[in-house]
Structure 1
Amino acid sequence: MAIAADRDLDVQTLVSDELAWTPEVDAAGIGVAVEDGTVTLSGEVDTYAERLAAKHAALRVRGVRAVIDNLSVHPKTAMSVTETDIAREVERALRASTNVPDTVKAEIDEHHVTLIGEVDWDYQRRAAARAVHYLRGVHTVSNMITLASRPTAADTEERIKNAFVRNARLDASHIHASVTGSKVTLTGTATSWAERRHAAHVAWASPHVTDVDNQITVRPL
């Protein structure tokens, strides 16, 4: 028990240091708590971009198993950004992104953006979210974009496993994929959150996958 507590204290210190090291983040306004490798971030930040930067900074730290984001966006200075302004900027950003098809639309509710529509690939869904994350006046983003249905293939599981093996960023011996129809379930262990996330991106690249259930457990070395 004492060893686990000491480990959590070490992770807490490392996360706090990483937040302070990250230029986009004002670490003074962010609280960090750690329990069994799970980091909880709390407090207020100036923008949604800063909130994302803080979460990504915590996920970069060795020993972090997961991050609970309890941060809220409260601009320090009043911004005269109307819902119409946000809608206009979101539409412009989506149309300017070469990876976002015209099927993607946005619904604006005050400072909250909900992305809807259907795309062919997960990378297009992620590109749509990235396009609006850093816009002025946006406080939260919900990505409700769905993937178009795809035909199943008998060798999907084998091809995903082969992709794991040839990927230099993954330890394929500890990551497993099982396929049911067009859904992939990932299990096993990863040494970092980055490895866990990358495994999901590899699975999403299959032309026969419309859903990835990432159950990989992060177990730091």
Structure 2
Amino acid sequence: MDDKVLKKLVTDELEWEPSIDAADIGVTVENGIVRLVGHVANYAQKGAAEKAVKRVKGVRGYVEDLEIRLSAKAFTDEGLANAVANLLEWDVTIPKNVIKVKVENGVVTLSGDVNWAYQRQAAEQSIRRLQGIRGVVNAIMVKPQAQASDVKRRIEAALERQAEIEADKILVTVEGDKVKLDGKVRAWFERDIIERAAWAAPGVKSVDDRIMVSF
């Protein structure tokens, strides 16, 4: 797809997304790689912008250089830490008293051990919409629970259940608690579906996603 056409599609998608104020977001495209520059009002808008870009057909890669410019209201690190701790405590998908919270200059670092990757992801998702957050470092670790062969089987079975995915074009390699994905897909959102399937397997600590988007 022509870069000029892709730039317009991405710009239109950002303007269409109601949770984003796209007025201060600039878009450049080179060889199908989209770069966003400018600023947004909060961390949630930053994440929403990334999701909007990935929805657009023809995007081969994404670079994000968005700055978060908070309102004049003051947000102390101590206040943010308390808010984050409360949200994690109230989230029923996250085990209690296992995640530690550190906040420095508006950047939240989460640490601790959980049994499943979805719990690690849920902890980060829970706090993304908090006002005052400039960034999130997710250092939560997933405890190993299953044999590599079982993890591989579960991931491949999950891919076969997805109507959008041609599972026979995806190679899954598992070494201990690490998963490597290879192959080709037709759109970026398919790549995300496959990566989520890998993270959903028990005991997976890291996913090396080498899947290419080709048209």
- Give the Å deviation of 1:181: 2.5
Equivalent position SS for 1:72: strand
Report what 2:123 is aligned to: 128
Deviation readout 1:129-160 (Å, 9 max, x if unpaired): 01110101111111111111234243443342
Equivalent position SS for 1:134: coil
Distance 1:133 1:202 in 2: 22
Q: What is the TM-score when the length of structure 1 is the normalising length? A: 0.91
- Give the Å deviation of 1:177: 0.5
Deviation readout 1:26-66 (Å, 9 max, x if unpaired): 11100101111111000011111111111111111111112
- Number of corresponding residues: 214
8 A contact 1:12–1:32 mirrored in 2: yes
Note if 1:179 corresponds to 2:174.
Answer: yes
Note if 1:94 corresponds to 2:113.
Answer: no
Report what 2:77 is aligned to: 83
Distance 1:208 1:88 in 2: 29
Amino acid at match of 1:106: V
Task: From the superposition, tell whether residues 185 and 198 of structure 1 become closer, same or farther in structure 2 (CA, over 3 Å).
Answer: same
8 A contact 1:151–1:208 mirrored in 2: yes
| 1:22-171 pair list within 5 angstroms | 22-75=17-70, 77-102=71-96, 103-171=98-166
| 1:1-20 pair list within 5 angstroms | 7-20=2-15
8 A contact 1:150–1:210 mirrored in 2: no
Distance 2:28 2:168 in 1: 32
8 A contact 1:192–1:218 mirrored in 2: yes
Which of 208, 211, 215 aligns to 2:210? It is 215
Distance 2:91 2:175 in 1: 33
- Give the Å deviation of 1:180: 1.9
Matched residues, percent identical? 38
Distance 2:203 2:122 in 1: 20
Equivalent position SS for 1:154: helix
Distance 2:153 2:90 in 1: 37
Distance 2:55 2:15 in 1: 13
Distance 2:178 2:203 in 1: 9
Task: From the superposition, tell whether residues 154 and 81 of structure 1 become closer, same or farther in structure 2 (CA, over 3 Å).
Answer: closer
How large is the RMSD of aligned CA atoms in angstroms?
Answer: 1.6
8 A contact 2:115–2:203 mirrored in 1: no
